[in-house]
């Protein structure tokens, strides 16, 4: 029995695309792009100057590739002046071009390495920020009933007393009827602080049925801790916007471990509530400075 072999047609090294070269010669797409970059070739041996073409690859090129010679174009000579020969690509041209291409490839690899390193640093910062938030939460919510219902903070006692006496209303009409509204703290004596901490604590306490004097103070302390955690996050955003992510994480870590702030978050007072809005105001003001559209600016 005689075995028949199929001979594949040779591919033109000067016209084949990168995928065909990569498939036929079993080389990478990057090397195929380098080969294409130095076209046209007059001899197969010129490919030996391309960076990355070793002896085995050159043998496969000689086996599977060819260089088509172009048909001469007939022209009508107008004058008998001699025609200057076209400049030929020299070996030096390929050597210099290979050096430039090698530098370009190295620069690309260096950029990719820098991007990977930046992503790694960013991931580490995110992980560190996560642990900072956990530590900050532990410090703020640990030992909420630190005084064992002794109510030793005078301002806290005052707010707790008012929060215990007020009650939520069923409609806005009842709320704005200030003379009769059960939400109006003045109807139960007097009140010298803002309404947000008071109303927030009372509403949450009624939802979870913790409205007694000893219970509502603990609800207020937890909410105070929640607002201080919001302040921690706002500090991170503010420092990140001003000085970068590393500084933002550092600022968050310092805020999470600040003793005075941890102490304030253990009191049912207005300090932690107020801190959030102070930082938020600075952050929004910083963003407002960057608005260049006259439509969103006021001229004074």
Which of 222, 198, 214 lies closest to 140, judged by CA? Answer: 222
Cα angle 277, 280, 281; round to 5: 85
Tell whether 113 is covered by a domain. Answer: no
Residue 190: pLDDT over 90 = no
Tell whether 21 is covered by a domain. Answer: yes
182 and 43 inside one domain: no
Residue range 98-118: average pLDDT? 72
168 and 292 inside one domain: yes
Tell whether 118 is covered by a domain. Answer: no
189 and 280 inside one domain: yes
Tell whether 199 is covered by a domain. Answer: yes
Q: Which of 7-16, 118-127, 148-157, 249-258 has the lowest mean pLDDT?
A: 7-16
143 and 285 inside one domain: yes
281 and 160 inside one domain: yes
Separation of CA 291 from chain center: 22
Residue 60 confidence (pLDDT): 83
CA distances for 74 relative to 71, 77, 87, angstroms: 9, 9, 20
Residue 93: pLDDT over 60 = no
181 and 261 inside one domain: yes
Domain around 38: 11-63
Tell whether 227 is covered by a domain. Answer: yes
Q: Which of 154-168, 178-192, 253-267, 280-294 has the lowest mean pLDDT?
A: 280-294
CB 265 within 8 A of CB 225: yes
> Which residues, in sequence order, are CB contacts of 183 under 8 Å at separation 6+?
166, 167, 168, 169, 174, 175, 199, 202
Domain boundary among 42, 63, 84: 63
Residue range 83-94: average pLDDT? 57
58 and 149 inside one domain: no
Tell whether 4 is covered by a domain. Answer: no
Tell whether 235 is covered by a domain. Answer: yes
150 and 292 inside one domain: yes
Residue 278: pLDDT over 80 = yes
206 and 59 inside one domain: no
Residue 27: pLDDT over 60 = yes
The residue ranking higher by pLDDT, 146 or 289, is 146
CATH code for the domain of 53:
1.10.150.320
* pLDDT bracket for residue 265 (50, 70, 90): very high
Residue range 78-84: average pLDDT? 55
Structure-token pair, residue 162:
């008012």
Domain boundary among 44, 63, 82: 63
Domain boundary among 63, 79, 99: 63
Structure-token pair, residue 124:
């580490």
* Count of the separate structural domains present in the chain: 2
Tell whether 256 is covered by a domain. Answer: yes
CA torsion sign for 264, 268, 274, 279 is: positive
* pLDDT bracket for residue 82 (50, 70, 90): low
151 and 236 inside one domain: yes
135 and 233 inside one domain: yes
CA distances for 120 relative to 116, 123, 125, angstroms: 6, 5, 9
CA torsion sign for 251, 256, 258, 261 is: positive
pLDDT, averaged across the chain: 85
133 and 263 inside one domain: yes
pLDDT (tens digit, 9 = 90+) per residue, 139-188?
999 999 999 999 999 999 999 999 999 999 999 999 999 999 999 999 88
């Amino acid at each position: 029995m005689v075995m028949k072999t199929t001979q594949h047609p040779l591919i033109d090294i000067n016209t084949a695309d990168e995928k065909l070269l990569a498939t036929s010669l079993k080389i990478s797409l990057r090397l195929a792009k380098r080969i294409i970059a130095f076209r046209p070739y007059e001899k197969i041996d010129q490919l030996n100057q391309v960076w990355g073409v070793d002896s085995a690859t050159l043998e496969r090129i000689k086996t599977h590739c060819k260089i088509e010679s172009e048909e001469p174009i007939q022209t009508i000579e107008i004058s008998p002046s001699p025609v200057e020969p076209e400049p030929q690509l020299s070996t030096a041209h390929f050597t210099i071009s290979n050096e430039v291409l090698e530098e370009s490839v190295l620069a690309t690899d260096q950029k990719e390495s820098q991007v990977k390193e930046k992503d790694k640093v960013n991931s580490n910062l995110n992980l560190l920020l996560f642990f900072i938030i956990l530590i900050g939460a532990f410090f703020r919510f640990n030992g909420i009933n630190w005084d064992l219902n002794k109510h030793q903070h005078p301002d806290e006692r005052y707010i707790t007393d008012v929060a215990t006496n007020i009650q939520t209303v069923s409609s806005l009409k009842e709320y704005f009827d200030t003379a009769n509204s059960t939400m109006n703290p003045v109807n139960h004596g007097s009140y010298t602080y803002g309404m947000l901490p008071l109303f927030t604590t009372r509403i949450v306490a009624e939802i979870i049925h913790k409205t007694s004097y000893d219970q509502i103070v603990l609800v207020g302390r937890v909410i105070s801790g929640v607002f201080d955690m919001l302040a921690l996050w706002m500090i991170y955003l503010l420092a990140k916007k001003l000085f970068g992510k590393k500084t933002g994480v550092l600022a968050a870590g310092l805020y999470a471990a600040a003793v005075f702030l941890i102490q304030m978050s253990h009191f049912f007072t207005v300090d932690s509530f107020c801190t959030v809005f102070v930082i938020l105001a600075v952050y929004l003001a910083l963003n407002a400075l960057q608005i260049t559209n006259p439509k969103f600016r006021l001229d004074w």
